[in-house]
Structure formats: C-alpha cells, structure tokens
Homo-oligomer: A and B are copies of this chain.
C-alpha cells in the first residue's frame, strides 16, 4: 500500500508549512503596509519603528494565541462529537446504520449494496465510530501536540516576516530612504516566499510569487494612501 504512507507524510509536512505560510504571509504584509503607510504621514523613523514593533507583538500574539486556542477547541469539539457518535452507535444503532447507508447511496449504491458495509462496521464498533467521524461529519482526528507547535510556528513566522520590512527603519537615517529600502527588500521577500509557498502547496510557483507580492503592494499602497490623506490632521 504505497498510498497510505504517502498521504501521511504529505499531511504532516503540510501542517507545519501551512502554519509558516499563515504567519509569514501576514508578518511580511501587515507590518510592511503599516510602516509604508506611516511614512506617508510621519517623518520620524522612531515612531514608525515603535508602531511596527507594537504591531509585530500584537499580530504575532493574536495569531499564535488565537491559533493555539482554536486548535484546543477543535480537539475538544472532536472529543465531544466522538462521545456523541459512540453513544448513538450504542443506543440507536439502527439510526446510525441508516446514516452509513445514506452516505453511500449519495454515490449511487443501492440499499442492498450498502448492506455488507453496514454489517462489517457493526462488527467493529471502534471502526464504526471512526468511520462516522470522518465520513458522516467530515472531522479529522486532531493531533494533541499540534496546538502548541502550531502556535509557536505561526508566531515565529510572523515575527521573522515582520522584521524584513521594519529593519530599514531601524537603520536608515531618513524615513524616505527607509521606505525605499523596505519596499525593495519586502517585495523581494514576498516574491521568494510566494515562490517557495507555491512549490509546497502545488500552485504554479511564479504565479504564487506574483500574487503574494501583489497582496503586499496593494495593502501597502492603500495604507500609504489613507495615511497620507488623514496625516494632515495630526
């Protein structure tokens, strides 16, 4: 069975890749757009760095802690639904047998053809419950260690991404020079990140690279426009 280990491997690596992608997409984009936007209204690089670091702290915590608690909730939701299926399999087996049959009738099997499946699942209640979780409810068993790893991965990727657009403002003398270096650096980073993301997610790498750079550019342009428009009030 070459298919099963293949799927497993794909699944595990894709979860970490997915978390890095989630964190780094926003980490590269939002601090970039914020810093670029503020340059449209403020000349002090100190304030832009302060705002940028505050944003990186806020964004990484919101995404990391949010992801952690969401994963914990998913795990509890799975456990609760599994308990319910377990109870239903024990208490109203005929109803559950009908539900198994319905899953397959949707794919053109007749009631007679679903009979052996139902009977086989009945012999193994554990398998039956697992089957209902995946095929009736569409829920995958969550890995209990995922929540913490996922939170740390997302937050770290956000911080790593966020320092790319912000670094020029820390080192450059004027905000205009910093903006120029930040735009060049971040567009290169977004392009490379989009390219690598494309390779991992099965999308055309070049198209993924261009899309990722586009999102960053549009967000930064809009932030710059808004900050320039209202900047006069401050």
Contacts and interface: CB of A to CB of B under 8 A. Distances in A.
B50 A38 contact: yes
Given A117-B113, A226-B53, A62 B108 contact: no
Looking at A1, A58, A110, the one whose CB has the most chain B CB atoms below 10 A away is A58
Nearest to A33: B58
B42 A218 contact: no
Nearest to A45: B234
Contact of A109 (B46, B120, B211): B120
A230 interface: yes
Interface residues of A, number: 82
Contacts of A54: 33-34, 37-38, 40-41, 223-224, 226-227
A12 interface: no
A181 interface: no
A77 B202 contact: yes
Contact of A124 (B38, B107, B216, B227): B107
Contacts of A138: 140
Contacts of A224: 54
Contacts of A121: 107-109
Contact of A120 (B63, B108, B216, B223): B108
Interface of A: 1, 3-4, 25-26, 29-30, 32-34, 37-38, 40-42, 44, 46-47, 49-51, 53-55, 57-59, 61-63, 65-66, 69, 73, 76-77, 80, 99, 102, 104, 106-110, 113, 116-117, 119-121, 123-124, 127-128, 130-131, 135-136, 138, 140, 201-203, 208, 211, 214-216, 218-220, 222-227, 230-231, 233-234
- Nearest 8 CB-CB pairings of A with B: A46-B234, A33-B58, A37-B54, A54-B223, A108-B124, A61-B219, A58-B223, A29-B62
